[in-house]
Structure 1
Amino acid sequence: MLAHLTPAEGGLSLRPSPVAEPEPRPDQAVVEVRAVSVNRGDLSLLAMLPPGSRLGFDVAGTVVRAAADGSGPPPGTRVAGVAEQDGWSERVALATTRLAPLPDGVEWAQAAAVPVAGLTALYALRYAGSVLGRRVLVTGAGGGVGRIAVQLARAAGADVVAWAGSAERTKGLTGLGAGTATTYAEGPAATGPVDVLLDSVGGDVLRSAYGLVVRRGTVVCYGNTVRAELSLPFDWGHARPGVGLRYLHLFDEMTRRPVGRDLAALFRLVADGGLDPQVAFTGVWSDPEPALRRLAERRINGKAVLLR
């Protein structure tokens, strides 16, 4: 079979290469891949991993071989889930605890866009606790995780404020449920106090957003896209006693969460029209470079998906 491997020459030019067929563990189902999504983490791995390494986490497809331990769905079931960094393949073995069947009406592109972004947003909000009637600030709101976080927070009863890196990146956010959508430059003066901060940006954005969090508020960080040293105001604890500050690492988090059940809940929301995965770019699986380049240049407001 074929899979995408990190190129010897570096860069974003990936082409399918021959690899061995998956050898599933007893708790894994083999899935014929129909769609994958591209995450910013994939860009980081491209720069870090040695040539010939596998890539890809978000996968949607059809079960062609059920898990030997009987724990998963039967052959022919449409599923989506989180691969073990080998999802950009024609076939992949997925742990049955990290996949969920797809409801009727959920398209391949929608399904592939949900797992990593949807779970990250969901778990960040769970750490925040009930947001009903509370003010939630989402930074990095123009990306895939941010756009889902805006929708989930609004559905849970929050007053949502969305910050993004440019006016172009804020497009569509009020339609997803944000009461206010603004840029990082304008945000601090335009926002006012917030009860919850969900941050994926880091650096000066985190610093300025943190200054808006009220006493006993909650801060959940799940990224550092600016790749800068984290910095908080000098009086970060004294001025805001009781603020909870937590970092969420999705793949560590998944070891403690019912991932399959949570994915199923997200897919039901998609099927019912309560969640739009925000697929903003659709490319072909055989040539991921256009999607990777657009993502690297922040020209995708939402998710990029590759179809087979």
Structure 2
Amino acid sequence: MRALLVDRSAPAGLRLGTVPDPVPAPHQALIRVTATSLNHGEVVFGLKGASEGAVLGWDAAGVVEQAAVDGSGPAVGTPVVTLMPEGAWAELRAVDTALIGRAPEGADPAGLATIPVAATSALRALHRVGPLLGRDVLVTGATGGVGRYAVQLARAAGARVVAVTGDPGANGELLRGLGAHEVIRTPKEATRPMDGVVDMVGGPLLVEAYQTLNERGTLVSVGHATEKGEDFPFGVFFGDQGRHDRSIATFFLLACTGLDRDLTWLAHQVAAGDLDPGITWRGGWDAAAEAIDALLAHKLHGKAVLTLG
């Protein structure tokens, strides 16, 4: 089968080549991939640590080519959205059935391919914040793939959403269109305490965002775009003055259970137009280097999708 292979002598460290077809385990289905989306983490960290000839990729939409022999998961011919720690940048991938969501017939594979990491991370982060109806939620890195989904999902759940972006003038209209009630440059500009924060940036911005939390508020750390550590000044973790029981939470998406249900629900929301997948770059697999260069240069606000076929 054809695949994008790690090759550090090639542009962006990838080249199109061929590898043997994957052999699925009994609890896995074989998926024919039609689209895959790129994530900041896999192009920044994944490519650096991968061995030559590896096939990377977390997100893929496609169709079931071979059902799991243990009887779990969808039948042959079912359109699906899939998540695994590797193998999405290929024509075929073997996927655990617990990490497969069923998609509606006729759904755009490109939109579906944005779901596994971005939309599911946003959904799980908001679950960790807790009930959202009537709550105040701050989203940092709001124009990125996870951030855009977090804004939409928080608004749909009844939260008052404050979006943080480096350029409110350029991105304000977009973020308000996605559901943000307020768009600001930095958490310090928040006009009232937050009940929850979904942070995609890390570093000093996470420290700022934590300090916006109301009593019993939760910050969920999802992304680390700054690639910097967090230095909390003395006194930030005192519990007085309305700071009682505040917390910072992390999670690892692949350690979560019930993701097949999340993926299925999100696929139907995207297919129905209730969630905007935020595709800002779309091209064939032979243009992967162009997409990766744009991601690394922070030129894309949203998702880059590669389509096969």
8 A contact 1:283–1:290 mirrored in 2 = no
Consecutive unaligned residues of structure 2, counting only runs of 5 or more, are none
Distance between the aligned counterparts of 1:293 and 1:169, measured in 2? 21
8 A contact 1:12–1:46 mirrored in 2 = no
Q: Which amino acid aligns with 2:91?
A: E
Shift of 1:225: 1.1
Task: Give the structure 2 partner of residue 199 of structure 1.
Answer: 199
Shift of 1:96: 1.1
Shift of 1:11: 5.6
Q: Secondary structure at the match of 1:173?
A: helix
Task: Give the structure 2 partner of residue 59 of structure 1.
Answer: 60
Distance between the aligned counterparts of 2:111 and 2:223, measured in 1? 23
Q: Which amino acid aligns with 1:74?
A: A
Shift of 1:275: 1.1
Consecutive unaligned residues of structure 1, counting only runs of 5 or more, are none
1:175 aligned to which of 174, 177, 184: 177
Aligned residues with identical type, % of pairs: 40
Distance between the aligned counterparts of 2:165 and 2:179, measured in 1? 15
Distance 1:170 1:58, change over 3 A: farther
Q: Which amino acid aligns with 1:202?
A: G
Distance 1:305 1:191, change over 3 A: farther
Distance between the aligned counterparts of 2:105 and 2:218, measured in 1? 37
What is the total number of aligned residue pairs between the two structures? Answer: 303
Task: Give the structure 1 partner of residue 253 of structure 2.
Answer: 250
Distance between the aligned counterparts of 2:20 and 2:181, measured in 1? 50
Task: Give the structure 1 partner of residue 69 of structure 2.
Answer: 68
Distance between the aligned counterparts of 1:169 and 1:48, measured in 2? 33
Deviating runs (4+, > 6 A) in structure 1?
none
8 A contact 1:131–1:158 mirrored in 2 = yes
TM-score normalised by length of structure 1? 0.94
C-alpha RMSD of matched pairs (Å)? 1.6
Task: Give the structure 2 partner of residue 128 of structure 1.
Answer: 129
Shift of 1:89: 0.3
Distance 1:13 1:183, change over 3 A: same
Shift of 1:284: 0.7
8 A contact 1:35–1:285 mirrored in 2 = no
Structure 1 segment 1-308 matched on structure 2, within 5 A:
1-9=1-9, 12-43=12-43, 44-167=45-168, 168-184=170-186, 187-239=187-239, 240-252=243-255, 254=256, 257-308=257-308
Q: Deviations over 1:257-285 (max 9, x none)?
A: 20111111111212332211111110112
8 A contact 1:210–1:232 mirrored in 2 = no
